[in-house]
A and B are shown apart, each in its own frame.
Chain A
């Protein structure tokens, strides 16, 4: 038997490639909450967020080879796919209308690993501080692009700032945020330059 709880994410993906459903369940248990939360933040629609979450995990089941543990963590891989799919959805005309009807939901707590939850919340607190420490001129375009699902051209228009400036501020802002995260004890993975 695989010791699922102690297996690394990379181990679990190898097992998923061999149709090991319990490994898939463990990956969902570890990252399903973050995936769903991101989809909710971007889509502001419960049904759409559930659909995207389902799609992201089914994609992993069908194409585990797309995850490369040398290039980054499984969580960032899943979140990147979640974000991409969510943004595609909100950029469609139909869902823009749906998005206007914002919904929220209470999340159940049963079954979630309390240690993971506490850890995630502690990390979220630190991340919030790191984001708050960014200069507003960088924080705003990052939030509008990431959580608002806007293109940088739209962000430039919204902030009445040249497109080139927005591109640079987002890029520099992300690098600066990385430094803030490292300094606060959080170590983002990702291939070194």
Chain B
């Protein structure tokens, strides 16, 4: 009887020690990644608060959104000669249009354009907070020279200890569901009790969120491995190009006439009525398509349509139904990681749980720095004694 009890506690203690060692040596790194990741979920909204130029203020309550052609005309009026590369127009958004242009001097800029008036309200400066926080969070600002940077691998590999901590945490704290019924945070019983309660509380409440982060983060690791080894799981096939015979020959001095963006959008609406176009990409060469895309019925995946800019024919569609099951799963990973697919309410939910996870890492460190070391010594001693006992019995 004594023996079984002892084995049981010994097993539990071993899990306990595993749980401690999984995150403790890397807690500071994990803490940093969780904190920057939490900020990244709402980085765009922070920019909205900080900079009036990125807001889409309507001049009146019945103001109408400009069409793509009107946007183009407005940009040409304010930035003569600039070539538009890309227009991002989120549906029903509080954000101004993001119009990427290249100016005649070769400089690129991202303009904030009012979607109602066409006024260029400003342009993105050298410090793009959103881009910075994402790069800091996801690859520690390291350069993408010749493949995914080490920072990307280091951050995404945290998915492994995160998943391990989740599993061992549940094993150690089997009755975690009690927290849902009777949350307990003892403030006045000493620091260890406080941090311990906080750790269990934050952990139990964020189990689904941690699972999502671990799995999607793990996908980023796999994505880098696949990419660096030139392995494609895409069913997109050969990139489509406009055939030479579709480009009409014209007289010297002017490009061949192309359809307008509104005509392209009309072709897309005709082909995919349920698509809400949220961006348009301009042809990057004479043999490139106009690409229009947005979210369709399945909000996690972008659908896109390539329109021949000379004859208006839709030459390729990439819909949800065109994708393999594997692509649907892997394609859902990034939006599930960032929570940017359902509106600001989901971003705020992600922020709250992200901060809970950040707290979890910190409280874990506070609880375990001492305890893990002590428990490890105990486990080692117990094992040694057990082995000695076994040898003696033999």
Chains A and B are bound partners: no
**Chain B residues in contact with chain A, CB under 8 A?**
none
**Chain A residues in contact with chain B, CB under 8 A?**
none
